[in-house]
């Protein structure tokens, strides 16, 4: 009996260890001067959890061997690092970020005939209008379809009731990654990072899809070009998540 209890204890210990995660503890430094960088966002792309570095550039995050960590900070080149046994074993490993070199391009300003009177000039500035349509019986708060014209509503209506035709190939490419959308939305560190970004770079890494695919999903979900271009990454994440949930619901039906 004692021997059996001992084996059972060893089994429980093995199960616990097999499901436990290790921790990576490291320091983020500026490659130019080796000074620590605070508030760097660190995301585990496998488990979809995030953290930020403290004032000394130190971070700590749960990770297993072969997980991929993604480091992002404004003004620096984002990098990905594969977790190794050494990275877990040796605490306070130093990871360098390189500053981005920005080249200012020539900007052409389209001239408008302005009078100097705000009331008059405001009426002459072109405004891009986007409208959202809702359909009773569907969980959506609405579908953005661009300008109000006879074809706008038809486009939305047709897209919604033909989900397999317009989204199956897109969502079918990365079903496992898209199932992690809720994890991305629940992690406040990831939300905090996406709320400050407009380049889709982090979304590409999180979803493991191309930037072109992100734009294509939004177009097929009847979001306007103005929204696709101007929304921040968190808004884009919310839009894709909403569209994906409705696609799954309608596809089941």
Residue 104 falls inside a structural domain: no
Q: How many Å apart are CA 60 and CA 189, to the nearest integer?
A: 13
Per-residue pLDDT band for 151 (boundaries 50, 70, 90) equals very low
186 and 230 part of one domain:
yes
**What average pLDDT does the segment 174-190 reach?**
85
C-alpha distance across the termini of the chain, in Å: 55
Convert the pLDDT of each residue in 56-108 to its tens digit. Answer: 999 999 999 999 999 999 999 999 999 999 999 998 999 999 998 765 556 56
78 and 153 part of one domain:
no
**For all residues of the chain together, what is the average pLDDT?**
78
| Phi-psi group of 185: left, alpha or beta (phi > 0 → left; psi -120 to 50 → alpha; rest → beta) | alpha
SS3 of the chain: helix, strand, coil, percent, to 5: 45, 15, 40
Report percent pLDDT > 90 for the chain: 44
Residue 171 structural domain: 122-252
Asked if residue 194 has pLDDT above 70, the reply is: yes
What is the total count of domains within the chain?
Answer: 2
Per-residue pLDDT band for 121 (boundaries 50, 70, 90) equals low
Least confident segment among 18-22, 118-122, 128-132: 128-132
Per-residue pLDDT band for 135 (boundaries 50, 70, 90) equals very low
185 and 87 part of one domain:
no
Residue 35 sits in a domain whose CATH number is 2.60.40.10
Residue 106 falls inside a structural domain: no
Least confident segment among 62-66, 133-137, 208-212, 245-249: 133-137
Residue 47 falls inside a structural domain: yes
Least confident segment among 64-68, 131-135, 180-184, 226-230: 131-135
**What average pLDDT does the segment 20-44 reach?**
93
Q: What confidence score (pLDDT) does residue 179 get?
A: 80
Residue 105 falls inside a structural domain: no
Residue 88 falls inside a structural domain: yes
pTM over 0.75: no
Q: What confidence score (pLDDT) does residue 150 get?
A: 46
Asked if residue 11 has pLDDT above 80, the reply is: no
């Amino acid at each position: 009996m004692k021997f059996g209890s001992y084996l059972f204890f060893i089994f429980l210990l093995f199960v616990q260890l097999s499901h436990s995660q290790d921790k990576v503890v490291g320091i983020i430094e500026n490659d130019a001067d080796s000074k620590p960088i605070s508030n760097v966002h660190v995301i585990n792309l496998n488990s979809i959890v995030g953290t930020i570095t403290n004032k000394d550039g130190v971070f700590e995050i749960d990770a297993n061997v072969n997980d991929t960590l993604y480091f992002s900070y404004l003004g620096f080149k984002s990098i990905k690092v594969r977790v190794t046994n050494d990275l877990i074993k040796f605490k306070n490993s130093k990871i360098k970020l390189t500053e981005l070199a920005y080249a200012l391009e020539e900007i052409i300003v389209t001239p408008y005939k302005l009078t100097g009177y705000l009331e008059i000039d405001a009426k002459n500035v072109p405004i891009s209008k986007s409208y959202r349509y809702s359909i009773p019986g569907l969980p959506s708060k609405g579908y953005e379809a661009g300008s109000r014209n006879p074809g706008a509503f038809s486009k939305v209506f047709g897209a919604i009731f033909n989900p397999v035709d317009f989204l199956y190939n897109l969502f079918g490419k990365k079903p496992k990654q898209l199932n992690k959308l809720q994890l991305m939305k629940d992690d406040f560190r990831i939300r905090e990072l996406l709320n400050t970004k407009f380049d889709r770079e982090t979304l590409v890494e999180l979803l493991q899809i191309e930037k072109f695919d992100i734009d294509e999903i939004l177009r097929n979900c009847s979001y306007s070009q103005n929204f696709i271009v101007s929304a921040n990454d968190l808004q884009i994440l919310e839009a894709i998540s909403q569209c994906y949930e409705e696609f799954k619901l309608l596809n089941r039906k």
